[in-house]
Amino acid sequence: MVQVGYIGLGVMGSPMSSNLLRKGFSVTVFDIDQSRVLPLLELGANSAGSIAEVAEKSEIVITMLPDSSHVEEVMAGADGLIESGHPGMIVMDTSTIYPGITDMLAKQAKMADMTFLDAAVGRLPPQAIAGTSMFMVGGEPEDIERVRPLLEAMGDTIVHCGPVGSGIRCKVINNFLGCVTAKATAEALTMATKVGLPLDTVRGVITGTTATNGLLATGWVSKVFAGDIEPGFAMPLARKDLALGIRLADEMEVETPLADLALTHFDALLESQFGDKDFSAILNAACEEAGVEVPTLSKS
């Protein structure tokens, strides 16, 4: 059986690694917060005391970390995966990071006779828990086939986007659009609430026209529409992903005036009472500014 390492056991990494364990994989886990390790030990995981120990015990290592700097440190830092790993080892990064970092780490891994794949995750924590995540994968077909059983244990949709770096670029563009759409959706729903239209009615109409988006259909249904704005996709992560998209656009000399305005709004949200909440709380902020109650779906 393939020996799997998993580094980063946060809101996405914990359920994703749990699904690997439930599907019978041998998984060695590591997180700097040891309290996150304990529930996985109960599912049969092996605990590692360091990144180097994960590398020593694993043929394939999966990383799910908050930001570019964390991935770079885990991969290329002292006693990181490149230094501690072995020829033939695959590192599959599922984090959302700057694509230039992905490119750099892939080159460094190749020089060490290792393979680096990017497998950025689509969808949200409820899907990670259910094992129905989407993966946008960059890498060579033969390498992706080696990790496919792991991806299938954690998700139900695997999209090969192209060579290494393609998956994370697709994810950044996806989240770029999602974050800008969130601002427009919040403004539209606030306007609907202020004129007295029930959320069920407005949502039913919009999801039946070309104005529809995933936030109305699924993303916000279990969060802000249910009165829950505790972090799932946290506001700081949404802001980070939008900034990554703008940075990528700038590199490609693509103008992004709407996204620039949305980023300014996210910056303001981070300084507000909603700064540590789920990104769907962008609707709460808009409603508060307009002086209306946050709309919720009927329970019938």
- The CATH number of the domain holding residue 232 is 1.10.1040.10
- Over residues 201-220, the mean pLDDT reads 96
Sequence-distant (6+) residues with CB within 8 A of 198 are 295, 298
Quick check: 59 and 149 in contact, CB under 8 A?
Answer: no
- Over residues 124-133, the mean pLDDT reads 96
User: Active-site residue 299, yes or no?
Assistant: no
- 82 burial type by CB count under 10 A (0-12 exposed, 13-18 middle, 19+ buried): buried
In a domain, residue 299? The reply is no
Query: Which of 141, 162, 183 marks a domain boundary?
Result: 162
Q: Does 83 share its domain with 211?
A: no
β-bridge pairing 133-138 and 115-122: antiparallel
Q: Does 180 share its domain with 204?
A: yes
Predicted local distance difference test score (pLDDT) of residue 299: 82
Q: Is the pLDDT of residue 23 over 90?
A: yes
- Over residues 168-197, the mean pLDDT reads 98
Q: Of 91, 87, 85, 79, nearest to 6 (Cα)?
A: 91
In a domain, residue 20? The reply is yes
Q: Does 42 share its domain with 119?
A: yes
- Over residues 251-260, the mean pLDDT reads 98
- 289 burial type by CB count under 10 A (0-12 exposed, 13-18 middle, 19+ buried): exposed
- The CATH number of the domain holding residue 19 is 3.40.50.720
- Would you say the C-alpha torsion 70, 76, 78, 79 has a positive or negative sign? positive
Q: Of 239, 155, 265, 74, nearest to 231 (Cα)?
A: 239
Q: Does 7 share its domain with 154?
A: yes
Helical axes 235-251 vs 166-194, angle rounded to 10°: 120
Predicted local distance difference test score (pLDDT) of residue 73: 98
In a domain, residue 300? The reply is no
Q: Does 238 share its domain with 144?
A: no
Q: Does 158 share its domain with 207?
A: no
Query: Which of 129, 162, 195 marks a domain boundary?
Result: 162
Q: Is the pLDDT of residue 203 over 90?
A: yes
Catalytic residue selected from 107, 110, 171, 240: 171
Q: Does 173 share its domain with 158?
A: no
| pLDDT category of residue 287 using cuts at 50, 70 and 90 | very high
Predicted local distance difference test score (pLDDT) of residue 300: 62
Q: Does 206 share its domain with 154?
A: no
Predicted local distance difference test score (pLDDT) of residue 1: 84
Q: Does 224 share its domain with 188?
A: yes
Range of the domain at 53: 3-162
The count of structural domains within the chain is 2
In a domain, residue 295? The reply is no
- Over residues 90-110, the mean pLDDT reads 98
Q: Does 116 share its domain with 214?
A: no
Q: Does 124 share its domain with 47?
A: yes
Q: Does 110 share its domain with 21?
A: yes
Query: Which of 162, 190, 218 marks a domain boundary?
Result: 162
Residues 27-51: tens digit of each pLDDT: 999 999 999 999 999 999 999 999 9
Cα separation, 125 vs 174, in Å, equals 17
Cα separation, 150 vs 63, in Å, equals 13
Q: Of 118, 152, 147, nearest to 16 (Cα)?
A: 152
